[in-house]
């Protein structure tokens, strides 16, 4: 009875879900453009691949909006809208894979959730031969999910005020961060303008650097969103494998846009409005550059010590080692997941693999499109540890707050970060246990798979073929991990509490 009463009080949730379904349904008609351009002659996929789910989504969305009331959501309601909205997006977004590629529901749902959450883990093989309209939809789901499905919905539907604020908070990072301007709607417009600007710029640069128009469009969607889906099985290594002379330029451009996606978009706003010094003065961005440089240095040293210590090395060899290390570290700290060298290859010795695994957990900056725990939280935890060590040599009554960027971090915020970190590691551990139990993966591989899902990373320490053939229980576990990592656990926890009749 309590559950029924809770549902009755929250019927307005279906109105929001209906609006979201209608929007996704409209987007499902976009891949018809590349379908006509590339796939009609090969008959590899039919119009129904997108027309059926698009029409179903729009009709369902309109019916929900007409039959359920609209009102501003409560905080709990916003959490439920967020959790259910992302799950529904994953289901609807998977229909083209079921219809066009004849994939199972689990695999289609997995790939769709991986796209919308910008995780980039794939269970699809043979990307080079896949219909281009399907590849376009995979890439576009990552672009939509980069700054958040609901944030885009609010920006294009002109919803503002308390409604937008509570939904933005529910979908975004669960930490207090500044906004470029006071109004939430104007904040969303600014964020999506910067995001779109980076998308267009990267597309033009990728095309000029040697990508085809189709590849440039797809990779501009998945680069700035730090999603990592590619149109080729070899990912960014494809251009070098094809002997493209400008492959290095494609890689360098990708690094720059990945790092842009992994940085706080508030920093971009400050830079574009004339405050270039924000690139080095901001607390989190300094940590960002520091972690990046340290990780690259460790990978380079580890590789040289393991393989080249007794060999004479030329400048070209050193540059190549640095180039690979910079690309892969940038790809993982931003949670993009592109590859130029497989992280399972001998190029990365044991210590390098551990460095990359740590980056999978840390991730990029708060207010970015990257996954992971986030650089800011990592810095606050280190600052907290430093304060606790200093307290040992100080009087008991000494007050030593944790200060970040000249502001005292409240104790409640520190407890919240610690709770999130503990929940994060607990879910990764539980997922690794489930993976090991239902597969023949070793402990390191099992841990890397769940860490990649939870951190919305993409790469893992086993093959894509192995991932594609994992048990459906493991795939559902990874789906939960991808959603929990992207939404930072809380919305799913609220949804579970509703199911358990706790709130």
Confidence of residue 11 (pLDDT cuts 50, 70, 90): confident
Quote the pLDDT of residue 137. 96
Q: Is the backbone of residue 348 left (phi > 0), alpha (psi -120 to 50) or beta?
A: beta
Cα-based distances in Å from 229 to 66, 114, 389, 425: 36, 9, 43, 26
The SS3 assignment for 30 reads: coil
Residue owning tokens 């995780």: 119
Q: Is the pLDDT of residue 405 over 80?
A: no
Tell me, what DSSP letter sits at residue 458? Answer: -
Quote the pLDDT of residue 481. 94
Q: Mean of the per-residue pLDDT values for the chain?
A: 87
pTM score, two decimals? 0.91
Mean pLDDT of 435-456: 93
Residue 232: φ, ψ to 5°:
-130, 145
Q: How far apart are CA 144 and CA 137, in angstroms?
A: 10
pLDDT tens across 188-198, in order?
A: 888 889 999 99
| Residue 259 CA from chain centroid, whole number | 13
Q: Is the pLDDT of residue 428 over 90?
A: yes
Quote the pLDDT of residue 167. 64
CA atoms within 13 A on the CB side of 343: 32
The SS3 assignment for 214 reads: helix
Quote the pLDDT of residue 402. 82
Instruction: Spell out the residues 6+ positions from residue 296 whose beta carbon is closer than 8 angstroms to its own.
Output: 322, 325, 326, 329
Residue owning tokens 């199972």: 104
Element (H, E) at 403: strand 403-404
Question: Where does residue 106 rank: exposed (0-12), middle (13-18), buried (19+ CB within 10 A)?
Answer: middle
Q: Is the pLDDT of residue 175 over 60?
A: no
Strand 407-408 relative to strand 403-404: parallel, antiparallel, unpaired?
antiparallel
Which of 419, 480, 487, 489 shows the shortest CA–CA distance to 453? 480
What percent of the chain shows pLDDT beyond 90? 54
Q: How far apart are CA 116 and CA 149, in angstroms?
A: 8
Q: Is the pLDDT of residue 92 over 90?
A: yes
Q: Is the backbone of residue 401 left (phi > 0), alpha (psi -120 to 50) or beta?
A: beta
Quote the pLDDT of residue 61. 93
| Residue 125 CA from chain centroid, whole number | 21
Angle ∠(451,454,459) on CA atoms, nearest 5? 55
Q: Are 218 and 231 in contact (CB under 8 A)?
A: yes
- Which segment of 24-33, 88-97, 122-131, 406-415 scores lowest on mean pLDDT? 406-415
Q: Are 29 and 66 in contact (CB under 8 A)?
A: no
Q: In this structure, what token pair is assigned to residue 175?
A: 């930490």
pLDDT tens across 221-238, in order?
A: 999 999 999 999 999 999
What are the b/e assignments for 132-147, b being 16+ CB within 10 Å?
bbbbbbbbbbbbbbbb
Mean pLDDT of 327-354: 92
pLDDT tens across 119-173, in order?
A: 999 999 999 999 999 999 999 999 999 887 777 666 555 455 555 566 666 666 5
Quote the pLDDT of residue 490. 79
Quote the pLDDT of residue 354. 93
Q: Is the pLDDT of residue 403 over 60?
A: yes
Q: In this structure, what token pair is assigned to residue 311?
A: 């060999």
Q: How far apart are CA 103 and CA 267, in angstroms?
A: 41
Give the DSSP per-residue string, 120-138. -------GGGS-HHHHHHH
Which of 98, 100, 120, 122 shows the shortest CA–CA distance to 108? 98
Quote the pLDDT of residue 155. 59
């Amino acid at each position: 009875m309590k559950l029924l009463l809770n549902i009755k009080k929250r019927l307005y949730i279906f109105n929001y879900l209906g609006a979201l379904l209608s929007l996704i349904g409209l987007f499902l008609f976009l891949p018809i453009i590349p379908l006509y351009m590339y796939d009609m002659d090969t008959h590899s996929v039919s119009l129904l691949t997108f027309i059926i789910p698009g029409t179903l989504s729009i009709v369902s969305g309109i019916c929900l909006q007409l039959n359920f009331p609209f009102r501003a959501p409560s905080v709990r309601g916003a959490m439920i809208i967020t959790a259910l909205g992302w799950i529904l997006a994953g289901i609807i977004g998977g229909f083209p894979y079921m219809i066009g590629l004849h994939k199972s529901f689990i695999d289609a749902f997995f790939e769709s959730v991986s796209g919308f959450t910008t995780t980039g883990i794939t269970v699809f093989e043979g990307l080079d031969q896949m219909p281009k309209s399907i590849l376009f939809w995979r890439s576009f789901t990552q672009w939509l999910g980069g700054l958040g499905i609901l944030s885009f919905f609010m920006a294009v539907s002109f919803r503002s005020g308390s409604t937008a604020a509570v939904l933005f908070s529910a979908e975004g990072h669960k930490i207090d961060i500044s906004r470029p301007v006071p109004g939430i709607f104007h904040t969303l417009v600014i964020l999506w303008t910067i995001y779109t600007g980076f998308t267009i710029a990267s597309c033009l640069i990728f095309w000029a650097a040697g990508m085809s128009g189709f590849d440039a469009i797809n990779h501009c969607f998945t680069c700035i969103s730090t999603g990592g889906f590619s149109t080729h099985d070899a990912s960014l290594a494809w251009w070098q494998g094809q002997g493209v002379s400008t492959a290095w330029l494609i890689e360098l451009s990708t690094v720059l846009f990945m790092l842009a996606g992994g940085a706080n978009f508030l920093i971009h706003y400050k830079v574009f409005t004339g405050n270039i010094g924000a690139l080095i003065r901001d607390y989190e961005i300094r940590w960002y550059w520091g972690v990046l440089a340290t990780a690259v240095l460790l990978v380079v040293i580890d590789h040289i010590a393991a393989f080249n210590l007794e060999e004479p090395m030329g400048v070209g060899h050193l540059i190549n080692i640095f180039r690979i290390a910079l690309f892969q570290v940038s790809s993982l700290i931003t949670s993009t997941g592109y590859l130029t060298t497989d992280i399972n290859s001998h190029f990365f010795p044991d210590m390098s693999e551990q460095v990359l695994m740590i980056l999978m957990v840390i991730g990029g900056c708060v207010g970015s499109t990257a996954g992971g725990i986030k650089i800011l939280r990592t810095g606050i935890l280190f600052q907290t540890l430093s304060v606790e060590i200093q307290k040992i040599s100080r009087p008991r009554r000494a007050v030593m707050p944790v200060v970040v960027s000249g502001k005292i971090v409240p104790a409640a915020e520190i407890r919240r970060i610690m709770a999130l970190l503990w929940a994060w590691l607990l879910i990764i551990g539980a997922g690794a246990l489930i993976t090991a139990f239902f597969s023949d993966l070793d402990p390191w591989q099992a841990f890397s798979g769940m860490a990649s899902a939870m951190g919305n990373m993409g790469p893992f320490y086993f093959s894509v073929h192995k991932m594609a053939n994992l048990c459906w229980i493991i795939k559902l576990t990874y789906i939960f991990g991808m959603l929990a990592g992207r939404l930072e656990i809380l919305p799913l926890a609220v949804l579970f509490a509703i199911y358990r009749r706790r709130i």
